Amino acid sequence: MATPHEQLQPRVDEAIDAGEMARLRQLLADHHPADVADLLERMDSVQQHRVFQMLDDELAASVLDEIGRDATRDLLDKLPLDDAALLLGRLPMDDAAEILAEDVPEKQDVLLAAMEGDKAAGIQRLLRYPPDSAGHLMTEHYVALRKDMTATEALAEVRRMDAIAETVSELYVLDDQGHMQGVISLRELINLAPSAVIGDHMTTRVISVQPETDQERVAHEVAQYDILAIPVVDNGRRLLGIITVDDIIDVLVEENSEDILRFGAVESGSVDQPYFTVPLLRVLRNRFGWLLLLMVADTLTGAVLRQFSTRLAAVVQLSFYIPLLIGTGGNTGAQTVSTIIRGLAIRDVHFSDLWRVLRRELLGGLLLGLALSLVAGTRAWLWDRDLQLALVVGISIIVICTWSNVMGSLIPLLASRLGIDPAVVSAPMISTLVDSSGLFIYLSIAGLLLTGAI
């Protein structure tokens, strides 16, 4: 099925070819900004700019927000500074802050200087917080109520704030100093009697985060408690801003892409760019570093082989089982890493569980190794009719599986402890790490057991 931007494409081309700019403008205005962004994303830079200039300001701002990083940079570069600042000023402040911080950091200062003073100041407040933190995602455009307001007064306040507020689904009850006292939803509000007092009907158990909280953690809280917006408060529980659920969904989608890329050993620098629009050379740069590092680690495995070359030459059959043994080690390790990364992501597993995890994975590796060693040992015996060799293969599998399982759980846990995203412990990395150690284990066991032959 064609996606909306694919259906839009031929009609836009037609309007451009016919020079019917009014029809083109109408066509774009009739579509969702996300679809217009998808369409522009696939145009060459010249046509992209031409079509972008045709959009009215509100649509143009939304498109800027939805489109990938390269296109955002490109479009902002081509606009006069004041126009660019104006468009950014039309966006929700968290979205504008994100563009300034991540897409055009080198123009951040000039663009802020060209914006209206209060808007620039608001965005600057967000930019003080670390990237990927709650502070970066929040907006200050929420609706604040007071405890002593009646439902009628509160509803009037909601209406008054309508043009400004990013969401009115959740309304925040603050004292004079801006401290959070409670929350009431619009749904609850419209069901109150007109004279009911807000303070009597608000929820005082408010789930909140702090501005420094990592965005993945924020997403976890929203997922856990099924809420439409989460307030960000300082240490004294003063309300600094709120994060709306649409931003949380974007975080989840982004983190999902990032995890898969990292786990496949690809730098996730271009995570918001569609596949075909990332310049090939940048893709290769994002991949080359890891490949090179892993290749260096692989030469270690080669060095182990070199070390044991006389043993391998004496019993040439030994080498036939190398792929099976190091392959199984790598696969077992990759399985464990993926289990632990997932556990850490959904906050099931913490570094403090280290010993419990290690005990569990040690036992698991041992049992998996036992089961696999029966298969591999039998296979070896059937192939080479050499009971000693079969024994070496079987025992090696047990030790290697246990070792890989332990390493596969230890490394991501240590990474999380050091504040590194555990998903950088990729499947290729763990495979490569256990390759050389697995080989060493195998050939050492062979040396111990095949004393007659070597």
| Site residues (CB under 8 A) for a copy of itself, limited to 309-368 | 309, 312-313, 316, 319-324, 326-328, 330-332, 334-343, 345-349, 353, 356-357, 360, 363-364, 367-368
Among the candidate windows 10-18, 81-89, 102-110, 216-224, which touches a copy of itself by CB under 8 A? Answer: 216-224
Closer to a copy of itself by Cβ: residue 105 or 289: 289
The 3 state secondary structure assigned to the chain is: CCCHHHHHHHHHHHHHHCCCHHHHHHHHHCCCHHHHHHHHHCCCHHHHHHHHHHCCHHHHHHHHHHCCHHHHHHHHHHCCHHHHHHHHHHCCHHHHHHHHHHHCHHHHHHHHHHCCHHHHHHHHHHHCCCCCEHHHHCECCCCEECCCCEHHHHHHHHHHCCCCCCCCCEEEEECCCCEEEEEEEHHHHHCCCCCCEHHHHCECCCCCECCCCEHHHHHHHHHHHCCCEEEEECCCCEEEEEEEHHHHHHHHHHHHHHHHHHHCCCCCCCCCCCHHHCCHHHHHHHHHHHHHHHHHHHHHHHHHHHHCHHHHHHCCHHHHCHHHHHHHHHHHHHHHHHHHHHHHHCCCCCHHHHHHHHHHHHHHHHHHHHHHHHHHHHHHHHHHCCHHHHHHHHHHHHHHHHHHHHHHHHHHHHHHHCCCCHHHCCHHHHHHHHHHHHHHHHHHHHHHHCCCCC
Distance of alpha carbon 233 from the chain centroid: 24
Residues 407-426 touching a copy of itself, rule: CB under 8 A, are: 423, 426
Q: Which is nearer to a copy of itself, 98 or 259 (CB)?
A: 259
Are the CB atoms for 62 and 96 separated by under 8 Å? Answer: no
Distance, in Å, from the CA atom of 131 to the CA atom of 99, rounded to the nearest integer, reads: 12
Number of neighbouring beta carbons within 10 Å of residue 390: 21
Binding map of a copy of itself across residues 139-158, x = CB under 8 A, - = no contact: ----------------x--x
- List the interface residues with a copy of itself, window 5-64 (CB under 8 A): 30, 32, 34
Sites for a copy of itself among residues 261-320 (CB under 8 A): 261, 263-266, 274-276, 280, 283-284, 287-288, 290-292, 294-295, 297-299, 301-303, 305-306, 309, 312-313, 316, 319-320
Beta carbon of residue 178, minimum distance to a copy of itself (angstroms, whole number): 24
Provide, rounded to whole angstroms, the least separation between the CB of residue 208 and a copy of itself.
13
Stretch that binds a copy of itself, among 47-55, 79-87, 102-110, 215-223 (CB under 8 A): 215-223
Q: Which stretch binds a copy of itself (CB under 8 A): 111-119, 162-170, 175-183, 235-243?
A: 162-170
Q: Does 205 bind a copy of itself (CB under 8 A)?
A: yes
| Binding residues for a copy of itself restricted to 390-409, rule: CB under 8 A | none
Of 40 and 326, which CB lies nearer to a copy of itself in the complex structure? 326
The site string for a copy of itself over 94-133 (x = CB under 8 A, - otherwise) reads ----------------------------------------
Shortest distance (Å) from residue 320 CB to a copy of itself: 4
Out of 375, 387, 420, 448, the residue judged to bind a copy of itself by CB under 8 A = 375
Task: Determine the interface stretch with a copy of itself among 7-15, 81-89, 104-112, 375-383 (rule: CB under 8 A).
Answer: 375-383
Site residues for a copy of itself, 175-204, by CB under 8 A, read 186-187, 190-191
Strand partners, 230: 243
Near a copy of itself by CB under 8 A: residue from 3, 7, 26, 53:
3
Q: How far is the CB of 162 from a copy of itself (least distance, A)?
A: 5
User: Two tokens at 367?
Assistant: 């049992």
Output 179 or 287, the one with its CB closest to a copy of itself: 287
- Give the binding-site size for a copy of itself (rule: CB under 8 A): 114
Q: How far is the CB of 385 from a copy of itself (least distance, A)?
A: 14
Q: Select the residue interacting with a copy of itself from 75, 126, 173, 222 (CB under 8 A).
A: 222
